[in-house]
Amino acid sequence: MSNKIEGFNFDQRHGKQRVRVARVWRSENGRHSIVEWNVGISLLTDSVVAYTRDDNSDLVATDTMKNTVYAKAKECVEELSVEDFAIRLAKHFTSLYQQVTAAIVKIVEKPWERVSIDGQPHEHGFKLGSEKHTTEVILKKSGALKVTSGIEGLALLKTTKSGFEGFIRDKYTALPDTRERILATDLTASWTYPYESIYSIPQKPLYFTERYLSVKKVLADTFYGPPKGGVYSPSVQSTLYHMATNVLKGFPDIATVQLKMPNIHFLPVNLSNKDNTIVKFEDDVYLPTDEPHGSIEATLSRFWSKM
């Protein structure tokens, strides 16, 4: 929060970061579910006396915030989405403490996935997946709400149907035009919902989890194209735009989508010496490298969305 102190502008917040919690739900039929969350909490207050007068009477201890995460996880008797848990935490801090004017809760969910044995889903066996489900919830004491969901580390790759040509050339340009290359990225995506209060959120169990899975599918399907033949990508920029557009077209309950798509390079290997006696690999052996890599990102919003 911004305050004026002794002729200066002073911004402050405090919280607890990297609070790791796992919650297991056990049904009567023997089926278990588990989530593992890495929680970050920031509380905004008007109090500055802890900084200026050595007075801690207005502070919520960060250790209390940590304990609250575990207590609230215990209270969740039914499986819920990471977004719903973040909202519960934010509501707790803004409603219980008079000093707290807003709470920001960020959570990263570790991707534990149920395993299958001989084609049958295991009752209590899980393996670690790759991409992570993220959320950020900002809740003010007034009830104003902003919910953002996202994906971190969604690795996508296709071995053909990608090119890059017709770009600006100058004396430093060495890259040749191509209509045949590997396209690979490590996608980070985030999207915001239009809900401005807790009461406007659809009352549907695991609503946010279902939307996360659906958005992830649209992003991947757009990147790859149809199973037979795929879809040509003239640039990472073009593919990114179509991915973002399809998210907004497919989900009216999403207001804004942001995509970050580093261009992970797969460089064709060709070994040669002065006599050209070493074999040419003909674009079937590559050197994968992400240092350096291209950096492409963009945000697409509806006209009525609030950024």
Report yes or no on 3 lying in a domain. Answer: no
Report yes or no on 207 lying in a domain. Answer: yes
Spot the catalytic one: 72, 140, 216, 265. 265
Question: Has residue 255 got a pLDDT over 80?
Answer: yes
Give how many domains the chain has, as a whole number.
2
- β-partners of residue 162 are 233
**Boundary-marking domain end, from 143, 161, 194:** 143
**Boundary-marking domain end, from 118, 143, 168:** 143
Q: What is the pLDDT of residue 230?
A: 97
* 3-state secondary structure labels for all residues of 19-77: EEEEEEEECCCCCEEEEEEEEEEEEEECCCHHHHCCCCCCCCCHHHHHHHHHHHHHHCC
User: Beta-carbon neighbour count of residue 115 at 10 Å?
Assistant: 12
Q: Are residues 166 and 299 in the same domain?
A: yes
Mean pLDDT value of segment 185-213? 97
- pLDDT band for 2, please (50, 70, 90 cuts): low
Within 13 Å of residue 70, how many CA atoms lie on the same side as its CB?
Answer: 7
Q: Are residues 86 and 160 in the same domain?
A: no
Q: Are residues 116 and 157 in the same domain?
A: no
The C-alpha atoms of residue 30 and residue 66 are separated, in whole angstroms, by 31
> Could you tell me where the DSSP H helices lie in the chain?
49-52, 62-75, 82-96, 207-224, 236-250
pTM: 0.91
Mean pLDDT value of segment 94-111? 97
Q: At 29, which CATH number?
A: 3.10.270.10
- Ligand-binding annotation for 164, yes or no, is yes
Residue partners of 37: CB distance under 8 A and separation at least 6: 20, 21, 22, 23, 73, 82, 85, 107, 108, 109, 110
**Boundary-marking domain end, from 124, 143, 162:** 143
Report yes or no on 2 lying in a domain. Answer: no
**Which of 258, 111, 107, 109 lies closest to 189, judged by CA?**
258
Q: Are residues 302 and 156 in the same domain?
A: yes
Spot the catalytic one: 16, 66, 92, 260. 16
Report yes or no on 176 lying in a domain. Answer: yes
| pLDDT tens readout for residues 268-305 | 888 877 766 666 667 789 999 999 999 999 999 998 65
Q: Are residues 118 and 163 in the same domain?
A: no
- Ligand-binding annotation for 257, yes or no, is no
Domain interval for residue 171: 151-306
Q: Express as a percent the part of the chain with pLDDT over 70.
A: 95
Question: Is there a catalytic annotation at residue 16?
Answer: yes
The C-alpha atoms of residue 133 and residue 214 are separated, in whole angstroms, by 12
Question: Is there a catalytic annotation at residue 32?
Answer: no
- Ligand-binding annotation for 203, yes or no, is no
Q: Are residues 301 and 155 in the same domain?
A: yes
- Ligand-binding annotation for 9, yes or no, is no
Burial readout 173-193 (b: 16 or more C-beta within 10 A, e: otherwise): eeeeeeeebbbbbbbbbbbbb
- Ligand-binding annotation for 137, yes or no, is no
Q: What is the pLDDT of residue 307?
A: 45
Spot the catalytic one: 32, 62, 72, 101. 62
Report yes or no on 127 lying in a domain. Answer: yes
Least confident of 28-37, 143-152, 271-280, 295-304: 271-280
Greater confidence (166 vs 306) lies with 166
Q: What is the mean pLDDT of the chain?
A: 94
Greater confidence (192 vs 267) lies with 192
Q: Are residues 295 and 158 in the same domain?
A: yes
Report yes or no on 171 lying in a domain. Answer: yes
> Dihedral sign, CA of 189, 194, 196, 202?
negative
Question: Is there a catalytic annotation at residue 299?
Answer: no
Q: Are residues 114 and 184 in the same domain?
A: no
